[in-house]
Structure 1
């Protein structure tokens, strides 16, 4: 029973990440804040969005997003403000501009290169002359029998 309760707590933990004192009174602003938060990376947890993270820095970022929205920023302006302060790494889905295009292109390029190398290998292997395998000499057979008996 204790394990079941612990498992439920661990599964439900991200639900409790946004504290009640963080929630905005305006439901429309809160919905916008949640949408923005789901696309921002927790810099402590790395691959978790700030909406699901319990880290202090994630809380600070959630409050900063809400503060910017209350100040009248659009979603794009709020995200741009946070990216300016923390860098593009804070985005869970970084843009494909600048130096990031190399990261976006690296996967497909490596796949194509790997497929090309595999194809070249298979073609060379198929066209290589077949090697003759000679039978063991009497001396080799005797040595093998001696090794196997030990």
Structure 2
């Protein structure tokens, strides 16, 4: 039981151990900025994991690059712009809603609204179709029906 608890604690702590001690900056203010920036940057290997939590080599390289840019005096915006220029907007966990990405942001809700409108039209036509078939038979149709049924 105790071994299982220790194993569980180790597994829970793994993402926190992604940032290696040799990566940590001496200046706590710069390190806090680096950690905050890293939370919004996607690991290009792990996909939906930020670089601060990823153990991938590329994530480590990105963490080091962020810290180097901060030590060089770049602002947070300049660091992000540098990484986007180098790796594209895919490096951002939350890409901007501008330009080509705007199509992706709008496509989901637009498709949902189109499907909703299509379903509404289908139901309206189906309802109208039933009303038309519920009309009473004409006198000729009734006579023909009696003839067929042999009444």
Q: What's the TM-score bracket when you normalise by the shorter of the two chains?
A: 0.7 to 0.9
- Separation in 2, partners of 1:76, 1:63: 17
Residue 104 of structure 1 pairs with residue 135 of structure 2: no
Give the C-alpha shift of residue 116 in structure 1. 0.6
How do residues 5-24 of structure 1 correspond to structure 2 at under 5 angstroms? 5-24=6-25
* Cα deviation 1:16-74 (Å, max 9, x = unaligned): 01111111111111111011100000000000000110111000000000000000000
Higher helix share goes to which structure? Answer: 2
CA RMSD in angstroms comes to 1.6
**2:39 corresponds to which residue?**
38
Structure 1 unaligned blocks of 5 or more: 133-150
Number of equivalenced pairs: 132
Give the C-alpha shift of residue 3 in structure 1. 3.7
| TM-score, scaled relative to structure 1 | 0.82
**1:83 corresponds to which residue?**
84
**1:66 corresponds to which residue?**
67
Give the C-alpha shift of residue 8 in structure 1. 2.5
**1:128 corresponds to which residue?**
129
| TM-score, scaled relative to structure 2 | 0.82
Q: Which runs of 4+ in 1 moved over 4 A?
A: none
Give the C-alpha shift of residue 117 in structure 1. 1.0
- Separation in 1, partners of 2:109, 2:10: 40
**1:148 corresponds to which residue?**
none
**1:117 corresponds to which residue?**
118
Structure 2 unaligned blocks of 5 or more: 135-151
- Separation in 1, partners of 2:47, 2:130: 53
- Separation in 2, partners of 1:65, 1:4: 35
CA radius of gyration, larger in: 2
